[in-house]
Amino acid sequence: MTTVTSHIDDLRIDSQRLWQSLMTLASIGATPKGGVARLALTDLDRQGRDLVVQWAREAGMQVTVDRIGNIFMRRPGRDPRRPPVMTGSHIDTQPTGGKFDGNYGVLAGLEVVRTLNDHGIQTDAPIEVAVWTNEEGSRFVPVMMGSGVFAGAFSLEHAYAATDTHGRSVREELERIGYMGEEEPGEHPMGAYFEAHIEQGPVLEDAGITIGVVQGVLGIRWFDCVVRGMEAHAGPTPMGLRRDALQVATQLMQEVVATALRHAPHGRGTVGMVHVHPNSRNVIPGEVRFSIDLRNHTDESVEQMAQEVRDCARSLSARTGLPIELTLVSSFTAQQFHPQCTQAVERAARLLGHSHMRVVSGAGHDAVYAARRAPAGMIFIPCKDGISHNEVEDALPEHVSAGCNVLLHAMLSHCEGVTGPASAPL
């Protein structure tokens, strides 16, 4: 007879069942190119929610929904007074989304519960799986809406008032699809939170590593920039007498990239959107509007990057005589995950024999807001070519399984008093 400890250490999820669950959910909103288009609070989102809730109830879980539509699926523990060890993610997608972004985190949590049920494992603390509302923000803004309201980042009324391009509000759509619950957001207890997710970038695949132990999420500063010059004919106007807004704008754009390179390894600098006026072949540009996206792993570092870009803009304006307007339009603080949670992920990866490395997330996730309420951590697995928010988004079944097994053991390490039939076959 084996000991209980060795029995728990040998516990593994049902890889085929997890994969089939992912493929079944992906059929709701499936696109011709193999992706998923299941926007938040649409009829397809309702169908996806209904399916996941059905699976949870079949696994013996208790389901509650709060007033922003967040779903909490609970596997009771021996001590109902203990706050649950929670996992989860989202099932809404981008219009050209994939099968794994968000969906993997929800169904990995469900597979953890199914595995515990299969082997008769009991935990002191309850285990819960959350489905957060409107993480993607592709239909309604702000992004990460459900977890943001839960964490108090913005109010329920602010979220309710958000509308889509057709003027339909979050409140109306929650009521229409039947997922406006009664529980006040944020009143739901949470003892710890883990989220499994595809990396959505190329680092793990490039390094040949299976598990990313996520240390935190990059802070973000978004700016809108306007450079104003003077339109003029491209032929008669000598180079030295031009007020070319585009040539000045491109110098600032290059500084955005240079700033990120100076703040390696976690600095990120992107100009993703550019509008040139009048955008004519033989007219010197008179105005350029463009976006600036700056990111780094601490608020101090991303703010330093922002200051360097501001200084460059002032210097360029003084040297060229062209007005440059920089407007901060959005700011997200960097989020460091709790050492106990990141260590639990690292220990689980080591126990399971998976290659692993410490990484940071360049994208926002619901775990960012969950971390404001409880100790939190994330698990990354590679995605093919680092591609996400795209219908070709893909992940290897063995990586999907590995990440879920790491999630299982990381969560169990936070549940305390884990017991089961010591001699149960595995």
Q: Are 287 and 280 in contact (CB under 8 A)?
A: no
Is residue 350 within a helix (H) or strand (E), and if so which, with residue range?
helix 339-352
Task: Choose the final residue of a domain: 301, 332, 363.
Answer: 332
Low-confidence residues in the chain, pLDDT < 50: 1-3, 422-426
* Residue 37 structure tokens: 């288009």
Do 375 and 279 sit in the same domain of this protein? Answer: no
Angstrom distance (rounded) from CA 204 to CA 380 = 8
User: Residue 212: beta bridge partners?
Assistant: 357, 380
CB burial string 192-215: b at 16+ within 10 A, e below: bbbbbbbbbbebbbeeebbbbbbb
pLDDT in tens, 27-74: 999 999 999 999 999 999 999 999 999 999 999 999 999 999 999 999
Q: Please check whether residues 296 and 283 belong to one and the same domain.
A: yes
Whether residue 392 sits in one domain with residue 315: no
Where residue 90 falls (left for φ over 0; alpha for ψ -120 to 50; beta otherwise) is: beta
pTM: 0.89
**Would you say residue 418 lies in a domain?**
no
62 within domain boundaries: yes
Residue 320 lies in a domain: yes
* Residue 137 resides in a domain: yes
Residue 414 to residue 127: CA distance in whole angstroms: 10
Question: Does residue 426 belong to any structural domain of this protein?
Answer: no
Q: What is the CATH number of the domain that holds 321?
A: 3.30.70.360
Same-domain check for residues 97 and 245: no
What pLDDT shows up at residue 426?
27
Q: Which of 332, 366, 382 is the last residue of a domain?
A: 332
97 and 141 together in one domain: yes
> What pLDDT shows up at residue 418?
78
Regarding whether 124 and 239 lie in a shared domain, the answer is no
Q: Mark whether 193 and 341 lie in a shared domain.
A: yes
| Cα–Cα distance for residue pair 332/327, rounded to 1 Å | 15
Residue 18 counted as domain residue: yes
Let me know whether 253 and 146 are in one domain: no
Residue 278: asked if its preceding bond is cis (omega within 30°), the reply is yes
- Do 142 and 208 fall within a single domain? yes
Same structural domain for residues 192 and 280? Answer: no
**Domain extent for 98:** 4-217+335-412
Which of 141, 50, 52 lies closest to 89, judged by CA? 52
Greatest CA separation for the chain: 92
11, part of any domain? yes
Q: What is the CATH number of the domain that holds 186?
A: 3.40.630.10
Q: How far apart are the first and last CA of the chain?
A: 13
**Is 118:28 a contact under the CB 8 Å cutoff?**
no
Please give the structure tokens belonging to residue 50: 């209904």
d(CA 144, CA 369): 8
Q: Is 250 inside any structural domain?
A: yes
Of residues 323, 146, 180, the one with CA closest to residue 248: 323
Residues 163, 255 within the same domain: no
pLDDT, position 5:
54
What tokens appear for 66 in the block?
Answer: 């709060």
The number of distinct structural domains making up the chain is: 2
What pLDDT does residue 47 have? Answer: 98
Same domain flag for 266 and 389? no
Question: For position 184, what pLDDT does the model report?
Answer: 97
SS3 call for 397: helix
End residue of a domain, out of 315, 332, 349: 332
Question: If you count DSSP H runs as helices and E runs as strands, how many of each does the chain have, helices first?
Answer: 13, 16
